């Protein structure tokens, strides 16, 4: 996968409708598995596993260990995240925990407190 494919993947997240949305006023605790796209704008605590993609919106607070294909983080994540392909950290994102990703993009004004591994062996 080259950089162009990564950009296409994240652009696709902008166009694709999530299968499930955890709204701003929702708190969810537990283990959640999904196949395509999940968007979290509220609070989630537990474990997320997927062969799909995740968007953590700017109002979200997520306390979870996460394993999936790709993700965009705009809000707050406390926990370890392992992404096979592209992890995009947008302005205002706060991540506390270990990050492992095939490819990582980081905008200005992102806070990371933890270890970061990027590349095919990550």
Show pLDDT as tens, one digit a residue, over the chain (122 residues). Answer: 444 455 455 565 665 788 889 999 999 999 999 999 999 999 999 999 999 999 999 999 999 999 999 999 999 999 999 999 999 999 999 999 999 999 999 999 999 999 999 997 65
The CA-CA-CA angle for residues 11, 23, 85, to 5°, reads 35
What pLDDT does 101 receive?
A: 97
What pLDDT does 86 receive?
A: 95
What pLDDT does 1 receive?
A: 43
pTM above 0.95, yes or no: no
β-strand pairing of 53-56 with 76-78: unpaired
113 backbone dihedrals φ, ψ, rounded to 5°: -125, 95
63: closest CA among 39, 87, 30, 35? 30
């Amino acid at each position: 996968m080259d950089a162009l494919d990564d950009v296409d993947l994240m652009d696709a997240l902008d166009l694709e409708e999530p299968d499930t949305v955890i709204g701003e006023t929702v708190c969810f605790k537990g283990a959640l598995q999904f196949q395509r796209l999940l968007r979290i704008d509220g609070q989630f605590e537990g474990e997320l596993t997927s062969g799909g993609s995740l968007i953590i919106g700017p109002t979200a607070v997520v306390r979870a260990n996460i394993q999936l294909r790709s993700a965009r983080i705009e809000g707050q994540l406390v926990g370890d995240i392992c992404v096979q392909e592209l992890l995009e950290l947008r302005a205002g994102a706060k991540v506390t925990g270990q990050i492992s990703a095939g490819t990582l993009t980081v905008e200005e004004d992102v806070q990371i407190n933890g270890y970061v591994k990027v590349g095919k062996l990550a």
